[in-house]
Amino acid sequence: MQPITHLLASWTVAGIPRLEGRDRAIITLAGISADIDGLGIVVELATEHTQQPLLWYSKYHHVIGHNLTFAIAIFLTALAIAKRRLLTAVLAFFVFHLHLFCDLIGSRGPDGYQWPIPYFYPFLQNIELSWSGQWALNAWPNIVLTFILIMITFYLAWKKGFSPLEIISKKVNRVFVDTFRQRFGKPQS
């Protein structure tokens, strides 16, 4: 699925328990971190028409970041840097797998490619996960899901006073939250 859907899904999970902003940020970033292996697209596009094109996107997207080894690294990192260590690490591990699950069910490319996930990479590299019923990246379930997640994000902003914007700037988040509260009134706490 699109990074924005992964971001909103992990944000929603992070918003459920009582966590501090830093732990919410860790969980949210854990939920999109797998797609770091998609950054190779920059190199691939840049070298596309050269003598030695580097196929970093085609070769490594859904490989380097989409596996159990990466998930364990995320878990241990969260455990080391979070405030509520265990809860944050468990939720980070969970949203990481939610990301893989969402990719499995709805990321078919326009060319029909399914982007199978080598879950045990870099070990047992011949075991790949894929699902024959996978729908396309731009299919309606993804659009509906993204819409629902946006609504939940708005609700959390209004009710609890935080939004993904706080990861970038507390001030911008404040403005965002205040806009909702001016429009819909203050939530009863």
Judged by the rule CB under 5 A, the positions of this chain that interact with Zn ion are 34-35, 103
**Scanning the structure block, which residue is given the tokens 């060319």?**
111
Q: At which residue do the structure tokens 């490989």 appear?
A: 63
Cβ 35 to Zn ion shortest distance, Å: 5
For residue 67, the 8-state DSSP code is: S
Cβ closer to Zn ion: 5 or 163? 5
φ, ψ (nearest 5 deg) of residue 82: -80, 165
**Residue 24 or 62: which CB sits closer to Zn ion?**
62
Q: Looking at beta carbons only, is 12 or 173 nearer to Zn ion?
A: 12
State the alpha helices, DSSP H only, in the chain.
3-15, 21-33, 40-46, 56-60, 68-81, 85-106, 140-160, 170-184
CB of 166 to Zn ion, least distance (A): 24
Query: Which residues does 35 contact at the CB level (< 8 Å), separation at least 6?
Result: 3, 6, 65, 99
- Triad 84, 162, 97: Cα angle to 5°: 55
Q: Which CB, 32 or 91, lies closer to Zn ion?
A: 32
Distance of closest approach, residue 95 Cβ to Zn ion, in angstroms: 12
Which residue's CB atom is positioned nearest to Zn ion?
103
Q: How far is the CB of 41 from Zn ion (least distance, A)?
A: 13
